[in-house]
Structure 1
Amino acid sequence: MVSQYEVDEGYIDTGRNVRIADRYFEDSTQVRTWFTVRSFPDGTRNCYTIPRLKEGDRYLVRASFVHGNYDGQAFGNSVAPPLLFDLYVGVNLWRRINITKASTLYEAEIITLAPSDSLSICLANIGSGTPFISLLELRHIDNHLAYQDANQSAALLFYSRYNLGSLTNDTVSSLGIKTTRGDAYEVPGMVMGTATVAADNFTLHYSLGYGLNSSVQTTFYIYLHFADFNYLSGNGSRIFQVRADGEPDSDNISPAYLLATHVHFIHRLAYPAVATDPADVDAIMGIKKLYQMKIWQGDPCAPQQFIWSGVNCTYSSSGTPRVTSLNLSYHGLNGAIPNTFANLKALNYL
């Protein structure tokens, strides 16, 4: 798969592009896509809109942030006080970004379903500095068997990724690890070609040390990928189990020789927020474009703290938010009222 990068002007109409400080260009750990950032000094919420998606398909979204002293406010390599802002996917909080070092790469990654033929990624100012972004990446997961735990009501939030044996070279295969036709995960051969083995040939133990708030109930989706490097002659077989906190989390596993095998158990991040009615969104996006309302960003009704200026919505526990009122008298608009307003079927005040 070849990655193609584009300038972001066609995906967002707010913010400004700024180069990072020259001294970071000479840092061999920095890559070209981090040399500029888009900064958002104005507005509470600024959103990218990614079009031409397949509704209901899964997408991996990765956001990257390298401060690079783009604003001249860093002290040495320190960003102090820390820069904090929130990142949203659609109408749901993805994570809070905490920037403390100018040269450090910060990343956020999520697997989510496209709720329609487009997806919005928003940066929200929470009063702790100006939000910015270096790079936004989107990968279509075209195999419907992969990451099925990401669905209409839940997404998979990235926590960590380990390529075991890649540094210690515990076990290395030069023969190449195969995948079955239609393999859902397609783990790169370079990753599958190294492994860690149990020193006593019985138990391989990992303490992941999540470091999360113990008062918040969290469930993890952990994906494990195996391959057997050692050919067993005759009727020999290798069988093992995956256990978490001493309890079995899988059936018996017996990987085939030089063939990728995948096992997972579960982490889910439930999404409580509900997006605005799609017909209302289409109608009001047309109004936004007609009147060039750049202050309108993301979903018009959700989350409720980011409801659009001049827009009122109704909310119910069993349905999607609806646009019921528009007050545009303070925006200096003039001209005839377009027919687009008629498509707001729940509108009762204009």
Structure 2
Amino acid sequence: MSCLNLYLASQSLMMSRTVKQFLFTLHLGLSLLLLVHAQDDQSEFISIDCGLQKVTYTETTTKIRYISDASFIDTGESKSVLNKFRDDYQQPYWSLRSFPEGTRNCYNINVTSGIKYLIRASFVYGNYDGQEKAPEFELHLGANLWESIRFENASVAAAHKELYIHVPLRSYIHVCLVNTGSGVPFISAIELRPLINASYPTQVGSLALEMRFDTGQVPTDFEGYRYPFDVPDRFWYTYDHDDWTQLSTSQTTDSGSSNDYQPPPIVMRTAATPRSAYASLDFFWLPTDDKASYYVYMHFAEFEKLRANQSRRQYITRNGQVFYELFAPDYLYTNTIFSPAALSGGQYNFSIRKAENSTLPPILNAIEIYTLKEFLELETNQEDIDAINIIKSTYKIKRTGKEIHVPLKLTCGKV
């Protein structure tokens, strides 16, 4: 069984995303020391270091500029992880904001309505309270449950939660921490990154990251890429499979192209292919929720200059049925193949196969899988938020009670 299959099987009940996403951060501070890139377009980034005093700084490895959360929330307490944890994490995860008071505490963040965003919330416990017991709590987007935050144990209590595809209907969002009676909620960082609106189309709802792999990179001391290599600052994790091998090129991919998904050229310069020239690329995952629906995005780029007598034609199946017809990856340009509708049914066995007349085996450069999130509750009206803020300012009210953010349920009875 592959690394992906074993991992997902072992984590299918509770921690399917938490540990995967923690591993990237654990090694990222060391990995990116050698990865320097010229790109510096952060004009529309929102990078909030929660619990940071009223200062700004530039993170040394990514060169991302972070600001304090003081202007986004007026509740909670600023805390810091223990010093012994700092070497394992980048600076945005050294501080945090905890919320020992109140059931629900919310960040109010201004955004551009109608723009598609990556929204990432990060949590590093770091035994900040000396209790050596990581809490459990809920993360909400407005009035809607985004994710239940649980950690495997206090020593590896860290997680990233990406609500990858979300288009705010208003000029603000609320990121809320909800106390469920199992410990004090906290948060380390909140990051928003604008996306191209044509990317990651869905029929309804938003998308939460399930997994994202650079299949052409095998895990070593290097664990993956993020900004500045990835324009929208996605985390690309390395991947290993016993039956796959890797191809690579030094040539630049997607030069001048307009792929809406913008996979990093450095990711697209490597690809996985079967060890056997006659085999297929097979992968599957085990859903943590049988009722969940998924979107799959696969990225392909040919970087071998094929001779006249060579061809690479391949097709994709899901559960033995054709998922995508025959295609040939373009030379040095990314082709993104995705599910136009959400996938459901509980079985997700994919196979990328070579055509009978293809002389070369199939390839896969990268893959992304997301869970569909349907948020049914609307955000509070902007006029109501403005009125509340005036009242809070006038009467020096610090806390914002849950009644402001939880939707009002109306029932009609007999008069």
Q: Which residue of 2 aligns with 1:321?
A: none
Q: Aligned in 2, Cα 1:224/1:315: closer, same or farther, shift over 3 Å?
A: farther
Indicate which of 262, 268, 277 corresponds to 1:192: 268
* Counterpart Cα distance in 2 of 1:299 and 1:239: 58
Say which structure is richer in helix.
2
CA contact (8 A) 2:79 2:128 kept: yes
SS of the residue corresponding to residue 221 of structure 1 reads strand
| AA aligned opposite 1:89 | L
TM-score by length of 2: 0.65
SS of the residue corresponding to residue 162 of structure 1 reads strand
CA contact (8 A) 1:60 1:109 kept: yes
SS of the residue corresponding to residue 161 of structure 1 reads strand
Q: Which residue of 1 aligns with 2:28?
A: none
After TM superposition, give the deviation of residue 253 of structure 1 in Å. Answer: 2.4
SS of the residue corresponding to residue 72 of structure 1 reads coil
Q: Aligned in 2, Cα 1:237/1:272: closer, same or farther, shift over 3 Å?
A: same
After TM superposition, give the deviation of residue 125 of structure 1 in Å. Answer: 0.4
Q: Which residue of 2 aligns with 1:245?
A: 319
Indicate which of 193, 196, 205 corresponds to 1:154: 205
Q: Which residue of 1 aligns with 2:160?
A: 107
| AA aligned opposite 1:84 | E
After TM superposition, give the deviation of residue 186 of structure 1 in Å. Answer: 1.2
After TM superposition, give the deviation of residue 118 of structure 1 in Å. Answer: 1.0
- Bigger drift between 122-131 and 256-265 goes to 256-265
Task: Determine if the alignment matches structure 1 residue 177 to structure 2 residue 235.
Answer: no
| AA aligned opposite 2:185 | P
Indicate which of 124, 128, 131 corresponds to 2:178: 124
Q: Which residue of 1 aligns with 2:75?
A: 14
After TM superposition, give the deviation of residue 254 of structure 1 in Å. Answer: 1.7
Measured against aligned partners, the alpha-carbon deviations of 1:300-322 in whole angstroms (never above 9, x if no partner) come to 25345xxxxxxxx7479xxxxxx
Task: Determine if the alignment matches structure 1 residue 90 to structure 2 residue 126.
Answer: no
Q: Which residue of 1 aligns with 2:302?
A: 228
Q: Aligned in 2, Cα 1:249/1:182: closer, same or farther, shift over 3 Å?
A: same
SS of the residue corresponding to residue 274 of structure 2 reads coil
Q: Which residue of 2 aligns with 1:344?
A: none
CA contact (8 A) 2:143 2:377 kept: yes
Q: Aligned in 2, Cα 1:72/1:184: closer, same or farther, shift over 3 Å?
A: same
Q: Aligned in 2, Cα 1:315/1:249: closer, same or farther, shift over 3 Å?
A: farther
Measured against aligned partners, the alpha-carbon deviations of 1:89-109 in whole angstroms (never above 9, x if no partner) come to 122110000132234431111
* Counterpart Cα distance in 2 of 1:303 and 1:211: 30
* Counterpart Cα distance in 1 of 2:325 and 2:406: 42
SS of the residue corresponding to residue 242 of structure 1 reads strand
CA contact (8 A) 2:124 2:158 kept: yes
Q: Which residue of 2 aligns with 1:218?
A: 292
SS of the residue corresponding to residue 65 of structure 1 reads strand
Q: Which residue of 2 aligns with 1:67?
A: 125
CA contact (8 A) 1:62 1:107 kept: yes
Q: Which residue of 2 aligns with 1:332?
A: none
Relative contact order, CA 8 A, sep 6+: which one is greater?
2
Indicate which of 17, 30, 37 corresponds to 2:96: 37
CA contact (8 A) 1:179 1:186 kept: no
CA contact (8 A) 1:92 1:303 kept: no
CA contact (8 A) 1:90 1:298 kept: no
| AA aligned opposite 1:160 | M
* Counterpart Cα distance in 2 of 1:218 and 1:203: 30
SS of the residue corresponding to residue 170 of structure 1 reads strand
Larger Rg, first or second structure (1 or 2): 1
* Counterpart Cα distance in 1 of 2:65 and 2:402: 25
* Counterpart Cα distance in 1 of 2:192 and 2:402: 18
SS of the residue corresponding to residue 197 of structure 1 reads strand
Q: Aligned in 2, Cα 1:205/1:256: closer, same or farther, shift over 3 Å?
A: closer
Q: Which residue of 2 aligns with 1:163?
A: 214
Aligned-residue sequence identity (percent) comes to 30
Q: Aligned in 2, Cα 1:43/1:178: closer, same or farther, shift over 3 Å?
A: same
SS of the residue corresponding to residue 327 of structure 2 reads coil
Measured against aligned partners, the alpha-carbon deviations of 1:51-91 in whole angstroms (never above 9, x if no partner) come to 1x2111111011111111100101xxxx2xx5110001122
Q: Which residue of 2 aligns with 1:309?
A: none
TM-score by length of 1: 0.77
SS of the residue corresponding to residue 68 of structure 1 reads coil
Gaps of 5+ in 1: 305-312, 317-350
CA contact (8 A) 1:89 1:119 kept: yes
* Counterpart Cα distance in 1 of 2:393 and 2:81: 32
Q: Which residue of 2 aligns with 1:58?
A: 116
Q: Which residue of 2 aligns with 1:205?
A: 281
| AA aligned opposite 1:270 | E
* Counterpart Cα distance in 2 of 1:145 and 1:228: 24
Measured against aligned partners, the alpha-carbon deviations of 1:211-262 in whole angstroms (never above 9, x if no partner) come to 4133xx1111111111112222337542222222112222332211111111
- Bigger drift between 244-253 and 276-285 goes to 276-285
CA contact (8 A) 1:91 1:299 kept: no
* Counterpart Cα distance in 1 of 2:149 and 2:405: 23
SS of the residue corresponding to residue 147 of structure 1 reads coil
